[in-house]
Amino acid sequence: GESVGLHLPTLSVQEGDNSIINCAYSNSASDYFIWYKQESGKGPQFIIDIRSNMDKRQGQRVTVLLNKTVKHLSLQIAATQPGDSAVYFCAERSGYALNFGKGTSLLVTP
Amino acid sequence: DGGITQSPKYLFRKEGQNVTLSCEQNLNHDAMYWYRQDPGQGLRLIYYSQIVNDFQKGDIAEGYSVSREKKESFPLTVTSAQKNPTAFYLCASSSQGADTQYFGPGTRLTVL
């Protein structure tokens, strides 16, 4: 029979295009946000972070945008490559720990 | 995975058994964390420790126990009281006062 499970939102992009992954957070008092990349069977890998006193932060090929008004975070990846295929998680600081979203699966096609 | 090691990579447990997952870090980080990840879901906090000999429950601590006798080590025991222990377990650490957590490679636990 058919198995029932949770399905991650999936974003499919062509190699070389830009990718935008979105995330909504819940706590308006959160002051720190972070993006992780997780490849299958591995631990999450830090990509980029941003504090609430900033709207934008750039890294190598990645940019994070923070809109505190609507509690929205986005990760932009420039010139997406096959190695970027993974699940991407946003997280907000919650006390001493991090509160993670469910993740978005990014699939890069040739 | 930046100086955080977890062992074993795969672990199989019979129902009713306790098992202990190892987490070691050589980053001189004060804080350490344990998360659980189920398929298609985000990470949920089990326990965390800000300093040696002190630890706090996270959101899903029932059926788990930890110890923090050394700064570099934070083992997690999955007890028989945990009704659904099959999952991917991730350990993380961060330096004192810092927000960025760095993760280990994970341990996949399967109950037979």
> Mapping DSSP to helix (H, G, I), strand (E, B) and coil, where does residue A82 land?
helix
Higher pLDDT, B95 or B36: B36
Q: Of A6, A41, A42, which is closest to B41 when you measure between CB atoms? A: A6
User: A37 — phi, psi (to 5°)?
Assistant: -115, 130
pLDDT band at residue A96, thresholds of 50, 70 and 90? confident
Q: Of A46, A49, A89, which is closest to B42 when you measure between CB atoms? A: A89
Q: Which of A1-10, B21-30, B63-72 has the lowest mean pLDDT?
A: A1-10
B49 to chain A: closest CA residue:
A96
> CA dist B57 to A56, A96, B48, B51, B53, Å?
34, 11, 7, 14, 14
The residues, any chain, with a CB within 8 Å of residue A11's CB and separated by 6 or more, are: A19, A21, A104, A105, A106, A107
- Tell whether the model's pLDDT for residue B77 goes beyond 70: yes
Give the separation between CA B17 and CA B111, rounded to whole angstroms: 9
Is residue A37 within 8 A of residue A88, CB to CB? The reply is: yes
- Tell whether the model's pLDDT for residue A1 goes beyond 50: no
Please tell me the predicted confidence (pLDDT) of residue A3. 32
Is residue A75 within 8 A of residue A21, CB to CB? The reply is: yes
Please tell me the predicted confidence (pLDDT) of residue B1. 46
> Mapping DSSP to helix (H, G, I), strand (E, B) and coil, where does residue A39 land?
coil
Q: Of A7, A42, A101, which is closest to B106 when you measure between CB atoms? A: A42
Determine whether the interchain pair A43/B105 forms a contact, defined as Cβ–Cβ distance below 8 Å: yes
Please tell me the predicted confidence (pLDDT) of residue A7. 57
Averaged pLDDT, A76-88: 97
- Tell whether the model's pLDDT for residue A4 goes beyond 50: no
Give the separation between CA A82 and CA A88, rounded to whole angstroms: 14
pLDDT band at residue A6, thresholds of 50, 70 and 90? very low
Q: In A5-79, at which residue ranges do the beta strands (DSSP E only) sit? A: 10-14, 19-24, 32-38, 45-51, 56-58, 62-67, 72-77
Query: What mean pLDDT is reported for chain A?
Result: 90
Tokens 């990840």 found at: B37
Q: Is A10 on the interface with B (CB under 8 A)?
A: no
Q: Is A98 on the interface with B (CB under 8 A)?
A: yes
Averaged pLDDT, A73-90: 96
In the numeric block, which tokens belong to residue B23?
Answer: 């987490």
Q: Is A100 on the interface with B (CB under 8 A)?
A: yes
pLDDT band at residue A8, thresholds of 50, 70 and 90? confident
